Chain A
Amino acid sequence: MSVTAEAVLPVAARARRRVSFRAVFGLSVLLVIGGAAVFAPQLAPWDPARQMLMKRLRPPMWQERGLREHPLGTDHLGRDILSRILHGGRISLGVGLTAVTLSALIGVTLGLLAGFFGGRADALIMRVVDVFLAIPYILLAMGVVFALGPSLLNVILVMAVTRWVQFARIVRADVLSIREREFVAGARARGNRALRLLLRHVLPNALTPIIVVATLELAFMIIYESALSFLGLGVQPPTPTWGWMLSDGRNYVATAWWLATFPGLAIMLTVLAVNLLGDWLRDTLDPRLKV
């Protein structure tokens, strides 16, 4: 019996035991990007804000006119692109992660309450969600930043406060079905408190969509931050951010492609890595997919 079982099982079993490519790739890319961001002051060859007008718009070093001391070229003010990407990562990743965490905290909490308790709590929370959905978030962000003044903290707050509805809606929808499942009724019949029902029985079963939304939102937040920066509401120049570099480089796309391409690649790689990692995390957390 065990011989045949061995013969049938191996394909799936071995695939499970092997470390997932998605996880390794996603995690290592994130570690490299994160590490580069953390150690940017040590790694960056130049001061990211230093302008060298004699060396404006130099292409990457492997191209004609490229300079060895500027591996990824320079921008229209002669600033080193590599140094700016390294420093920009600190802002973009930091702001993105904090904003996603904050908006997930708000959204998941309110979504759980709305879905689980229903009734008036649900009606109230979901009407607030509707209001937030009805107002264009950029407009809302503009208003708040104008009122509070642009600063890093305000940008993060605004991003979280305008995006929590994404979490709230998904979580509420999931909780509505989870709370009707028998194991929740069973847990209630065993005398569990409402808080414990929520945290141990409902929330863990709603984790999958939360993780998926969080990875998508992280990508969104990086873009969102650049949009705010582009409008002059986000992080103020000369502090470099990926989004700001991207929008700045847009004007030179025809003549100097490297201005927009490298920060764009940085954003793309980060988002890809986060999504792969989130994908893997979701599969790993779902016990039904474990063999």
Chain B
Amino acid sequence: MALLAVEGLRTQFATSGGTVRAVDGLSFAIERGEVLGLVGESGCGKSVTSLSIMRLVPPPGRVTAGRILLDGDDLLDKDAEAMRRVRGARIAMVFQEPMTSLNPVFTIGDQIAAAVRAHEGGGRRAAWERAVEMLDRVQVPSPRERARDYPHQLSGGLRQRAMIALALAPGPQLLIADEPTTALDVTIQAQILDLLRRLQADRGMAVLLITHDLGVVAELCHRVAIIYAGRIVEMAPVAKIFEEPLHPYTRGLLRCLPHPSRFGQPLSSIEGAPPDLRQAGAGCRFAPRCPLALESCRRDEPALDERRPGHFVACPVVSV
């Protein structure tokens, strides 16, 4: 059984301008110890997916359909108290913004120790020692001194390390990392990715990595799901996505990356703009921008089919 299985997830926001279908029938699974990348452009529903899994979608958002099975238990069936016990302990989250993700009025040691005590109990001193140990584990230099620092005294990279220590303190089975490196500069990004990879391998922890950065995906992920307008359009092992992208959207995305063979040519882009998520619209959501679109694409919703072993594509047109 997969560690986490999301089936037919729909999350909608009822606004005065109409219902925004932010996540529209998403299905994927993460195995134990696997790193799955959720990739898409801004507003495609990546973050709403992660918030839906945590059941922390802010109002007026609501999960309207689907199942979220963690070890076979449907999280959507749990009462508030049971769900609260899942958060942090079994599924942890790391956010994008390390500058504001730590409470400014407590030292980082304090915050990690509090998380440790909340989940394991034990005395203050023991929790503090665990906090120092966690900071050491995420490669914070001189952790004993840094534990006494307030967040504003740390650099962005150190803060993100502290955030990771905080998330991992209770020993979760699944880590949801929502754009964990976006706010960091490139060298620090590489260090944080390296750290995440090492921690993931050491602990056999599953990671759901949410990003718009294909470079980050290539570094860290085992498998990738490409999301467009609230639906998965392609899902495959990471090498396949880069070597043989099948869906026209994925191909378009990859063409947008700079490449040595196209040196000197302007970067390409995908024509058009993402659809208005308030329109229900039949058919493939990418059809209006798709170079291969047929008449049937605008009518029939494409199913996510396994076109090659482990390689799923939601496009009936593309030839395999």
Contacts and interface: CB of A to CB of B under 8 A. Distances in A.
Contacts of A188: 56, 87
B48 interface: no
Contacts of A10: none
A190 B103 contact: no
Contact of B84 (A181, A183, A191, A204): A191
B127 interface: no
B106 A204 contact: yes
Interface stretch (B71-79, B89-97, B229-237, B289-297): B89-97
A187 B102 CA distance: 9
B152 A190 contact: no
Given A181-B100, A186-B95, A288 B152 contact: yes
A193 interface: yes
Given A189-B93, A191-B86, A182 B103 contact: no
A205 interface: yes
Contacts of A186: 93, 95, 101-102, 163, 166
B109 interface: no
Given A191-B118, A287-B150, A205 B104 contact: yes
Interface in B215-234: none
Given A190-B115, A287-B150, A205 B103 contact: yes
A189 B87 contact: yes
A287 B103 contact: no
Interface in B119-178: 150, 152, 163, 166-167, 170
A190 B167 contact: yes
A207 B105 CA distance: 10
B245 interface: no
A55 interface: no
A4 B101 CA distance: 34
Interface string A180-207: 0111011111111100000011001101
User: Which of A181, A189, A201 has the most C-beta atoms of chain B within 10 angstroms of its own C-beta?
Assistant: A189
Nearest to B81: A193
B88 interface: yes
A76 B301 CA distance: 95
A121 to B, nearest CB: 14
B10 to A, nearest CB: 22
Contacts of A207: 105
A204 B105 contact: yes
A193 B118 CA distance: 10
A188 B105 CA distance: 17
B251 interface: no
Interface string A248-291: 00000000000000000000000000000000000001011010
Interface size class of A (residues with CB under 8 A): 20 to 34
B114 interface: yes
Nearest to A181: B100
Contacts of B89: 191
Contacts of A205: 103-105
Contacts of A200: 103, 106, 114
Contact of B102 (A183, A189, A191, A193): A183
A182 B58 CA distance: 13
Nearest to B172: A190
A205 B170 CA distance: 25
Interface in B22-57: 54, 56
A192 B83 CA distance: 11
A201 B54 contact: no
Nearest to B101: A182
Interface in B289-320: none
A185 B96 CA distance: 12
A183 B88 contact: no
B259 interface: no
B85 interface: yes
A187 B118 CA distance: 11
A185 to B, nearest CB: 7
Given A182-B95, A190-B167, A191-B84, A288 B56 contact: no
User: Which of A186, A204, A205, A290 has the most C-beta atoms of chain B within 10 angstroms of its own C-beta?
Assistant: A186
Given A189-B56, A190-B92, A190-B115, A183 B152 contact: no
A181 B92 CA distance: 18
A202 to B, nearest CB: 10
B95 A185 contact: yes
A288 B104 contact: yes
Given A182-B100, A191-B85, A288-B104, 18 more contacts: A182-B97, A186-B95, A186-B102, A186-B163, A186-B166, A188-B87, A189-B54, A189-B56, A189-B88, A190-B87, A190-B88, A190-B115, A190-B166, A191-B88, A193-B84, A204-B106, A287-B152, A290-B150
Interface of A: 181-183, 185-193, 200-201, 204-205, 207, 285, 287-288, 290
11 contacts: A182-B95, A183-B100, A183-B103, A186-B93, A189-B56, A189-B88, A190-B93, A190-B166, A191-B85, A192-B118, A200-B106
